[in-house]
A and B are shown apart, each in its own frame.
Chain A
């Protein structure tokens, strides 16, 4: 066959011509008047139309330009990778959800894991602590120590930190609303143990703004929530520069049914809210951005939405830092991501199918760029405590993707695909349009206060649920290839009443023993600092050292800030 002469990639109008011919002469007749199996073909979350074919003409249509849009790995705009050598030197860090902290003795489990060679731990708290209450507050009955550790006072942490700190390199504290209190407790506990804070990394989640949009673990009104989160960020930047003061868990938006564009737009504009709050305290963007650029991003089952979302995230962060804030240092322009297959794609029914799903999603993560680390959730979330088998499978999945598929052997191998680049660019453009809307409103804080984000998510939740109920989205095991005889149980972790009673006794005993007048004075100082706009971490530190309890300090702030009660409008209902 003669090769047509001319450039290797013909001009778009020529391609368009050929495509029209192809439709008429080849595709049309082959379809033979039969309807396609879907009408319309759309992506899973965004519901964007999917054409039968993508060609170079599509790249032209979105204005694709290799140098401007992709460039090279480790260089602005980082679309292909933030790492100059991709994963050819080191793979991403492979981590697992361990599932401990659910009512178990955290310290015992922590020691065990360090002994097994793990060097990172996660501190999760019960719903009493997360919501700023002491264990003996009647409102938290049934919750003490159930979803995580009960942290009433410094005493609890002193006991929990009976650990070989020489083996511990990384500690993450999953706290949002009461972050200054929690940070103070950890700092005080480390001091008591004689641990040098420079010897390991403490990473606090400190992600209150996303909590207002979904999940809902907030206490104070949004502007105060942002203020105390900023206090923690500033305190860490100035006093513990090797620590990480935030994790923007974009992945939380997925159960709330955010589509990829919303995920990018909301989590990045939320990041900007933190950045701007810290900039106001006299720091510059190249210093601040590297502290805020920690993201957790999941992929769902739509393969290309996942891959393109990760690529678009990298590009959007870089552009935002450069164009909006004038950042110039690579550390400021590069996003840091922990990626993961999402648990919302997994089914209770026919759990073995989930292993396939995890494999596919882990591959999408790897092809999208994996980031600094990847986590694989358990394939069978029905069990609150992970079966050993499930942990092993999770680890194996990552190793299979890494060593057997070859997808990480070259950097960003899907680049140049007409579909992938079209979708990536469209996501980027749509995300920026949405961010511009939010910035025009006054930023993410305003968007949260007026309920804009929550309402948008509420609509998505309703629509997506309808998609499944009305069969527009096929989900194996749920509405497709279901098995009538399958009855599965979700095991929930039960309250240990004895443990709750013990914790209540402990905290009451503590209150009886301590220097009450000193505690009262310290709590008054917390209120004063709250009123005067001072950084909340130092007065919280003083108070925790005097054994003021978690709930007491949170209440002192409630006295000044008030509490946030979202109405249904703000909850998107």
Chain B
């Protein structure tokens, strides 16, 4: 093991914030020491409940996160928050500003807030988000809350990542039905309509109710009764019920054995995604641009190109 990694692993298992932060940094930067740390701490993971919060921009997710954290703290639970914001596809830079909303928790030792950029991940959720969840888990945080960008397809990413997915909707964003995409309606575990003091709130709430009803009818698995909750996060209202629902979902998962199941799925998905990335990198490094250029000039179709790359790869490993 690299010198630094062993030390960092030990200290983060003891709960030291600086060590945890450094580990997340290594993983985010694809520093090999990150994988070392992960290897050391992985057996200590699997306890924390990962809660994803997603929804369209303007839904007030940051403010909601802030009051949920406050509520968990009231109940003596320790919370890690991962706030993900988009990195510029052109420059690679990012403005990560979510922690401004959670300023009041800045000095609470029971709260760890970490901001991450998407760093070019197509899915909108940085790969390092999963890694950061594991670090927080190993450090002993009871809850790991992942707050996502809320555009494009990343909502589905959250579902794969989290034990419990909260979908936040809000009135006044135009077409409420469009705003909460079809895939989410089936995948969310808890639904919250925020900004209860806004005009059009009741209409949005009713629409959501209807859609959840339709979902209940369509989906055979009715064991978890999906709650639809109200919140006015800017006023500090609604956190209690949501935290109760999250706790109830945890119990449900534990009872049904789904907690372990979802953890397994996450682990699987994480490994597969790492494999995919590594293979792709290796393949391209080998066969490189030549094959891709053929496709660009329309001398080779994409399927044939993929076949060629894969053959070259397996030949190489066979030869090795």
Interface residues of A (CB under 8 A from B): 221, 442, 450, 562, 565-569, 571, 573
A442 to B97 alpha-carbon distance, docked (Å): 26
Interface stretch, picked from B98-106, B263-271, B273-281, B296-304, is B98-106
Q: With A450-B58, A562-B234, A567-B62 known to touch, is A573 a contact of B103 (CB < 8 Å)? A: no
Q: With A450-B58, A573-B95 known to touch, is A568 a contact of B235 (CB < 8 Å)? A: no
Closest to A564 in B: B234
Cβ–Cβ < 8 Å partners of A571 in chain B: 97
Docked-complex contact A562 and B235, CB < 8 angstroms: yes
Docked-complex contact B236 and A567, CB < 8 angstroms: no
A490 to B280 alpha-carbon distance, docked (Å): 57
Q: With A450-B58, A573-B95 known to touch, is A566 a contact of B236 (CB < 8 Å)? A: no
Closest Cβ of chain A: how far from B232's Cβ, in Å? Answer: 10
- 22 pairs, A vs B, C-beta closer than 8 Å: A221-B234, A442-B172, A450-B58, A562-B234, A562-B235, A562-B236, A565-B100, A565-B101, A565-B103, A566-B100, A567-B62, A567-B97, A567-B98, A567-B100, A567-B101, A568-B95, A568-B97, A568-B100, A569-B97, A571-B97, A573-B95, A573-B97
Cβ–Cβ < 8 Å partners of A567 in chain B: 62, 97-98, 100-101
Closest Cβ of chain A: how far from B60's Cβ, in Å? Answer: 10
A516 to B121 alpha-carbon distance, docked (Å): 59
4 closest A-B pairs by beta carbon, nearest first, are A568-B97, A567-B100, A567-B101, A567-B97
A367 to B97 alpha-carbon distance, docked (Å): 44
Cβ–Cβ < 8 Å partners of B235 in chain A: 562
B168-182 Cβ-contact flags toward A at 8 Å (1 or 0): 000010000000000
Given contacts A562-B236, A565-B100, A573-B95, list 9 more A-B pairs with CB under 8 A: A562-B235, A565-B101, A565-B103, A567-B97, A567-B98, A567-B100, A568-B97, A569-B97, A573-B97
Closest Cβ of chain B: how far from A176's Cβ, in Å? Answer: 20
Cβ–Cβ < 8 Å partners of A566 in chain B: 100
Closest Cβ of chain A: how far from B235's Cβ, in Å? Answer: 6
Closest Cβ of chain B: how far from A402's Cβ, in Å? Answer: 48
A569 to B100 alpha-carbon distance, docked (Å): 10
Closest Cβ of chain B: how far from A439's Cβ, in Å? Answer: 15
Cβ–Cβ < 8 Å partners of A442 in chain B: 172
B216-271 residues at the A interface, CB under 8 angstroms: 234-236
Highest count of chain A CB atoms <10 Å: which of B62, B95, B100, B103: B100
Cβ–Cβ < 8 Å partners of A450 in chain B: 58
Cβ–Cβ < 8 Å partners of B103 in chain A: 565
Cβ–Cβ < 8 Å partners of B234 in chain A: 221, 562
A562 to B104 alpha-carbon distance, docked (Å): 12
Closest to A458 in B: B95
Cβ–Cβ < 8 Å partners of B236 in chain A: 562
Closest to B199 in A: A442
Cβ–Cβ < 8 Å partners of B97 in chain A: 567-569, 571, 573
A569 to B101 alpha-carbon distance, docked (Å): 11
Closest Cβ of chain B: how far from A302's Cβ, in Å? Answer: 30
Cβ–Cβ < 8 Å partners of B95 in chain A: 568, 573
Cβ–Cβ < 8 Å partners of B58 in chain A: 450
Closest Cβ of chain A: how far from B65's Cβ, in Å? Answer: 11
A571 to B98 alpha-carbon distance, docked (Å): 12
A565 to B95 alpha-carbon distance, docked (Å): 17
Cβ–Cβ < 8 Å partners of A565 in chain B: 100-101, 103
B69-118 residues at the A interface, CB under 8 angstroms: 95, 97-98, 100-101, 103
Cβ–Cβ < 8 Å partners of B62 in chain A: 567
Cβ–Cβ < 8 Å partners of B172 in chain A: 442
Closest Cβ of chain B: how far from A299's Cβ, in Å? Answer: 33
Cβ–Cβ < 8 Å partners of A568 in chain B: 95, 97, 100
A569 to B235 alpha-carbon distance, docked (Å): 19
A569 to B98 alpha-carbon distance, docked (Å): 9
Closest Cβ of chain A: how far from B71's Cβ, in Å? Answer: 15
Cβ–Cβ < 8 Å partners of A569 in chain B: 97
A566 to B234 alpha-carbon distance, docked (Å): 11
Closest to A221 in B: B234
A571 to B97 alpha-carbon distance, docked (Å): 10
A568 to B102 alpha-carbon distance, docked (Å): 12
Closest to A222 in B: B234
A311 to B299 alpha-carbon distance, docked (Å): 64
Closest Cβ of chain B: how far from A568's Cβ, in Å? Answer: 3
A450 to B62 alpha-carbon distance, docked (Å): 13
Closest Cβ of chain A: how far from B86's Cβ, in Å? Answer: 12
A567 to B58 alpha-carbon distance, docked (Å): 12
A566 to B102 alpha-carbon distance, docked (Å): 10
